[in-house]
Structure formats: C-alpha cells, structure tokens
Structure 1
Amino acid sequence: MGRTLYVTDLDGTLLNKQDRISPESIEIINNLIRQGMLFTYATARSLVSASVVTKGLSADIPVIAYNGAFIFQPSTGEILSEESFSAEEMRKAQELLEGYGMSPLVYSFIDGDEKVSWISQKENEGIRRYLGQRQGDRRLRPVCDSGELYRGKMFYFTCIGELEELRPVYDIFSKDERFRCTLQQELYRPEYWCEIMPAKATKAHAVQKLRQQWGCGRVVSFGDAINDIPMFEISDECYAVENAVEELKAIATGVIGSNENDGVAEWLRAEFVPCPTENLR
C-alpha cells in the first residue's frame, strides 16, 4: 500500500487555545519525523503566520497554506505549488465584492512580493484584531482606495464581519464554479470570515499533490472544522479532535483527544510504526 502521509489542520486541531503547539506535541512529532514519518500541516493561514505559531516544529517538511492555494518549503519560503486567480476571475471577484460593499483583505503578489492589502479607512473590529496579531509583518500594505487595493496577482480574499452581511457574498461565490468560498465563525471569536479562493485551492487538492509527490499509498488526516471536510473525504482515515464541530465528527473515522490535550500528537505516538527500510522522500 506504500507509505502513509499524515496531515493535520492547525487552528483548533494541532494548536491549543494560546495559538501554539505545546512543547510536548512538538517533541513527539519531531521525533516521529526523524523516524521517517511523512507529516505536514494544511492551514488557512499564510506561511508567515503559520511559521510563528508552529515555531519549533521541523521546517524540513513541505506545508500547505492558504487553504491549499500554496504548498511551501518553510525552511526557504520556496513555492512548490500554487493556485491563483486568472485575470478574468480577479475582475469578477472585484466587481462582486464592490457590488456588495465589501472591503476585504486582499492577498496578492505585487512585483514579486507577497502582500496583504486593505483600505485603512474601512477597518472593522475583526480586521483590526487580525492586523494587531501581525504587527511587524512585512506583507501588510494599507491603501486608500480600491484602485490600490486590487493590484498585483491576487490569489485570496478575506471578508471579516457579521454573518448577515457576509451571507449574500458567500451565496454568490459558493455557486460560481470558478471559485471556492467558505464561511465560518472565527475560532474563539464572534465575527465570521468569508474566504474566497480559486476553485482548486483546497486542502484536499493540495494533499493529493503531496500524496503523489511522495508516492504515498494512504492519507491520514486530522481536523476540527467544516473546512476540513473535503480533506477528510479524500483521506483513507480521518480523525476529528474532541473539540471539533459535530458535522466533522459525523464523517470521521474516529474522535481523538482535544487540541488542549495533544490529541493529534498522542494519536501519532500510539499509532505510527516506522518503516526503516524506506527513505523519507
């Protein structure tokens, strides 16, 4: 059957409520990686943000960021795979967002540099919290108008706000086959996030790429939220942490310990069996 690729979500799954991986989990996982475990994480975060909250975890593993839009080599920042909007899709997204009065965070590459742009005069509480957690982030690019906001090679849009104002946007984008759109409440917070990506920018699609690259016969995944459902659906085994939403638990192979109790790491320590005759890659 070949080797197994183990993939975990970050927020609410591998990360605890302090947005960190516990020292115990880091020790367990790094030790298993040294023994040959093929492991990665798949997150909606950027590589920059994920690198902060996964500090101490082995950097010798390709990781999935932006909900599958990118696969990065974290030690170098090299892009191993990417999914971006076409010029037509970027124009359509801008038209729809402006039509609904949305002022999103726009993720793009401008002159080769990754940027997160927003209109500074239209910040709400959710956006201010997002920015406050990323002080000193070189990607941050406040702008004054939509002409500057929608620049560069765009690959991700995030609208933060109340459910009622975001629902119409989600309804439009989720029915358009050119896009992938998710709408869910921010973990531990009252506001909602509506995230718009290219159609192929999914954790499931990126996991399949890594599975093929590494020649893995099986995938075992871990998650906590509804955006992990597609990843669970393409996995041979999938485990929801104890604190996961009921929708995910309903399709999981099983339920493991919570993110506060090192659920993923403890499961890996108990279940992973090294294959000494095979190389890591």
Structure 2
Amino acid sequence: MKVRKNASAYQELANEYEIDLGLNEEQSIAMHSNQPFMLNEDQLDYIVDQMTVTVGIDRYLQAHSEVLLPIALSLFVINERLWKIMERKPWDKEKMLAMCTIPLCTWERKAETTSNPKGSNRWDIHPNSLELALEKNPKILVCGEGGDFSGFIEQSQITMRKFGIPESRKLIPNYTFEQLQMEVKLDRAVFEIHPSPRDNLDYDYSEPARTFYNHGFAISVPGEDVILKVSKRKSLKMAGEVFLLIGSQILEDDDTQHYRALKIDILLRALQRRFT
C-alpha cells in the first residue's frame, strides 16, 4: 500500500465482507477520528487470508479482478531491433518507448507546456476488459482500445494535415488508435506490485509511471509468452523481453474512489502471494 485511504473506506470494507482489519492502536484512533491511514503488509495478508479462506486465492483473484477496470496498460518490448529504432528519437535515446498503450497518447501542439515540453496528450480510457485465467496454464487476457506504436513521424506531417501549414520536421512518436487484444502466459512470469519507474523506459507517451506504482503491477516475461493482436492484423508473438505494466487510474483527492483503491491494494497483495 502506497497511498493512505480514508477511514470510511476501511469501514465499508469491514461492513461489506464482515472481516476484522487487525488495526493497531494508532490506526484505531485514526479510524474513530475519521483520519486517513495505511495498512502494513502483515495487515494486508491478514485481510487476504480472510477473503480467500473459503474460495481459495485463485477464485478470489478471478472474481475480484474487475476492480481494476478500466485498466491502464503499457507494453514495453526490449530487443535490439527496437533499440535501433529508438536511436531516431530526438530525446532520451537510451529509453524505450511503449509498444502498446492504454490509453492512446499522441502529440498535440496545444499540449506543449513548460511542464509537458514533448506535447504528449493522453486520451481518455475507454471501457476495456481484463481476465485472469488461473485454473490450468495460467494467463492474463486483455482487450481494449489504445495506442499502437508505428514508428516516428515528422511533426510537420501532422500540422500539415490539421492546419495546412508545415512546421517543424522534428520526429515524434506515432501512435495509432487501435483495438488491442493480448494474451500473457504466466508460467514463467515474474510479478512486481507497485513497480518503481525504470531508468531505461520512456513514459512520456504512455500512462505515467506513478499510476502503476500507486495502484498497479508489472510482469516481466519472455516475449514469446506474449501474443498481441492489433485490430484486424495477424496475431504475433513478441520478440525479446517484455515488461508489462497494468494499473488503475485513481484520483487520490476524490473521496469516492478510496474504497475502490483499497480493494485494489488487497487484490494486488493477493496477486503477489499467488505468483511469488
């Protein structure tokens, strides 16, 4: 757990599932005074034990994974061919861009600001799906609309289409809006919950790393264990190594989202226990 939750979220959890939270004295005081606080790992384990005691951890994960929806996603693929392509970037050539993203992220001239010099514009996330198939040959299935990396394009080509006036020939990432379907086999997967940002990854044209750190997880897996289908194109296995980020956008200052965020934290802890 990386973010404090409102006392009302914990109370709602205890009431809905009739479980004990195992709070210490300081947390109990915060609970009664309606102050936000965090649970430690032992307390999360205690809650997971109660939530899974009758159905088992696999059924719990399958039944509750919908709390993550709609998901944000970034698919990073690491291989020599893609590193060669990254050499065309006008910035951070040593950082890999995501090959697929939810949501779609594109360059917009009006989005260029001091805090966003690359002009990255993140679109809204549309409804999508995530399924955990864990009984035999465990895998994750994802389906949704997002962005597919299609190399680089001159900025002037976009401004010409929109405004009829050529501008800079600077290269920018070209992501196209596509229907994405992904199957990730989990037999050899390494899971990490609340993954920290990685220095060799470029998050500028994908969901911010903080989303996955606060409310998400990462999977490291051989590329051949990931099958990607983009719109009507042929399904392809990835080449090299894959680092997949999946998480949920939570507005921390929106009190109505704290209960969902708490249930995500519990789900992530259960996921970590299942695969580590």
TM-score interval w.r.t. the shorter chain? Answer: under 0.3
What TM-score does the superposition give when structure 1 sets the normalisation length? 0.24
